[in-house]
Amino acid sequence: MSGIESSLSPAAASARLTWALCIATLNRIDMLELCVICALAQTRLPAEIVIVDASDDWQSHRDRIARIVAGTVPLIYRPATERSSAVQRNSAIAECSADICTFIDDDSLMHNDCMETILQVYEADADQEIVAISAGSGPSPLEIGGITTKPVADLSSRAERIKESRLGRFLWRELFLMGRAVTFIPYAGPFGSPIPEWATSFKPEIVPTIHIGAGRMTVRRSALMREMFEPAFRSYCPGEDFDLSYRLSRIGVICAVPSARIYHHEVAASRIRREQELVLAICNAAFLLRKHSPDLDRDRRRLALLMARRRIAELLKDSLTRRWRLPQLKAARKAAAISRDILAFPDQAKLADWYVSVQLNILRRP
24 and 86, same structural domain?
Answer: yes
Lowest-pLDDT range, 136-150, 187-201, 295-309? 136-150
Lowest-pLDDT range, 159-173, 224-238, 294-308, 318-332? 159-173
- Residue 2: pLDDT over 60: no
In the chain, how many domains are there?
2
The per-residue pLDDT of the chain, averaged, comes to 90
Burial of 357 (0-12, 13-18, 19+ CB in 10 A): exposed
Is 34 among the domain residues? yes
59 and 30, same structural domain?
Answer: yes
pTM of the model: 0.90
Q: 112 with 40: CB under 8 angstroms?
A: no
CATH number of domain containing 8: 3.90.550.10
The average pLDDT across 102-130 equals 97
Give buried/exposed letters for 113-142 (b at 16+ CB in 10 A, else e). bbbbbbbbbbbbbeeeebbbbbbbebeebe
291 and 212, same structural domain?
Answer: no
**What does the pLDDT read at residue 162?**
61
**What does the pLDDT read at residue 32?**
97
203 and 323, same structural domain?
Answer: no
**What does the pLDDT read at residue 44?**
98
The average pLDDT across 152-180 equals 69
Q: Which residue type is seen at 124?
A: A
Q: What does the pLDDT look like over 82-113, one tens digit per residue?
A: 999 999 999 999 999 999 999 999 999 999 99
- Residue 4: pLDDT over 80: no
Is 246 among the domain residues? yes
* Final residue belonging to a domain, choices 232, 264, 296: 264
